[in-house]
A = this chain, B = another copy of it.
Amino acid sequence: MKGRIQENDDVLLYLDKRRSYLVKVEKGKKLHTHKGFINIEDLLGKEYGARIQSNKGAEFIAFRPTIRDYIFKISRKTQIIYPKDIALIIFFSGIGPGSRVVEGGTGAGALAAAIASYVKPYGRVYSYEVREEFLEIAAKNFKRMGVADYIELKKGDLTEKIEEKCVDAVILDLATPWLVVPHAYEALKGSGVFVSFSPTIDQVVKTKEALIESGFAGIETFESLFRRMQVEKGRTRPETLMTGHTGYITIARKAMI
């Protein structure tokens, strides 16, 4: 990773914990905010982390965007899986650099991109999406996030078939994961990991039944709650607002029959 901001880099202009702006660095560009405008060109050659002022004197910090920043920006346009869940899905799936992973439905691409950022440069994500309208959105997001080379975006329905074999993991965020289970079993190598994210209990129950029937073992389901703290001497407390539910994560491993 380079240390200085160059043309065509994406930069996260951070104002405060509620407001930040993801911007591509281009000559002549201005970013307009309610705190005044910023000459984006002025960032060229500065070190990441540099502070820059708007014409009204508000200070912004030019951070290098992380995958989580991109995902946060995508999430303002489409319903996507939360970073707290992506983190658990990736770590519990046991994947890492070099892994081959089937994923779907792609949607806006947040989960596929996050997985790709961990399996690159030699691993691959095979991301399935059946809805035409999302294929273009996802392709664009992958390119912007710099992970397009590690993802094979496929138009296809995982409930009908998975074309890959001997993959390390199958990771699902779709409405009927239980219909994918038999295909996931065929696609996975022995001991390979199945992960599914579902909002409702009913989806979880059906998926678990399908997993047992197909020969999976080590099946676990859990949920996580993420709670922000407001930290300030004399006034420290958890924040009032919290997301009470996103979904349940079910994981299992392929046992040979």
Q: Which residues of A contact B (CB under 8 A)?
A: 1, 3, 14, 17, 47-51, 61-64, 66-68, 83-84, 86-88, 90-92, 94, 96-98, 114, 117-118, 120-121, 166, 168, 189-193, 199-202, 204-205, 208-209, 217-229, 231-246, 248, 250, 253-256
Contacts and interface: CB of A to CB of B under 8 A. Distances in A.
Contacts of A48: 189-191
A26 to B, nearest CB: 19
A75 to B, nearest CB: 14
B218 A14 contact: yes
Contacts of A221: 228-229, 231
Contact of A229 (B239, B240, B246, B248): B248
B166 A205 contact: no
B97 A237 contact: no
A96 B244 CA distance: 29
A224 B62 CA distance: 28
What secondary structure prevails in chain A residues at the interface with B?
mixed
29 contacts: A1-B189, A3-B190, A49-B190, A49-B253, A50-B255, A51-B255, A51-B256, A63-B218, A63-B253, A64-B190, A64-B191, A68-B92, A84-B224, A87-B87, A91-B114, A97-B121, A200-B234, A202-B233, A205-B233, A209-B233, A221-B229, A222-B228, A223-B229, A225-B225, A231-B250, A238-B244, A239-B245, A242-B242, A242-B244
B240 A244 contact: yes
Nearest to A193: B66
A44 to B, nearest CB: 15
A73 to B, nearest CB: 14
Contacts of A209: 233
A204 B1 CA distance: 30
A201 B94 contact: no
A97 B94 contact: no
Nearest to A207: B231
A12 B62 CA distance: 46
Given A3-B189, A191-B64, A227 B223 contact: yes
